Amino acid sequence: MEKPNPKRSLSNHRISRRSFMAGVGAGTVCVAASSRLFASGGGEKEEEVINADSLSKLSLHINARDHHLLVEPRWSLLYVLREKLGLTGTKEGCSRGECGACTVLIGHVPRYACLTLALEAEGAEITTVEGLLNGEELGAVQTAFAEEDAFQCGYCTPGQIMSVEGLLRKNPSPTTEEIRIAVSGNLCRCGAYSHIFKAAEKAAKARSK
| List of residues 6+ apart from 85 with CB closer than 8 A | 60, 62, 67, 69
Site for another protein contains 186 (CB under 8 A): yes
Site for another protein contains 206 (CB under 8 A): no
> Footprint of another protein on residues 148-177 (CB under 8 A)?
149, 151-158, 161, 176
Q: Name which of 19, 21, 14, 13 is nearest 48 in CA terms.
A: 19
Angle at 188 between CA 187 and CA 193, to 5 degrees: 105
Site for ligand FES contains 112 (CB under 6 A): yes
Report DSSP state, residue 81.
I
DSSP helix/strand/coil, 1: coil
Q: Which of 54, 153, 173, 184 binds ligand FES (CB under 6 A)?
A: 153
Q: Which of 154, 172, 173, 194 binds ligand FES (CB under 6 A)?
A: 154
**Smallest distance from ligand FES to CB 187, Å:** 7
- Print the binding letters for residues 82-101 with another protein: x by CB under 8 A, - otherwise: xx--xxxxxxxxxxx-xx-x
Task: Tell how strand 103-106 and strand 109-112 pair up.
Answer: antiparallel
Please report, for residues 110, 141, 144, 155, the alpha-carbon distance to residue 147 in angstroms, rounded to integers and kept in the order given: 23, 10, 5, 17
- C-beta of 84 vs 123, nearer to another protein: 84
**Smallest distance from another protein to CB 134, Å:** 11
Chain positions contacting ligand FES, by CB under 6 A: 92-95, 97-102, 112, 114, 151-157, 188-190, 192
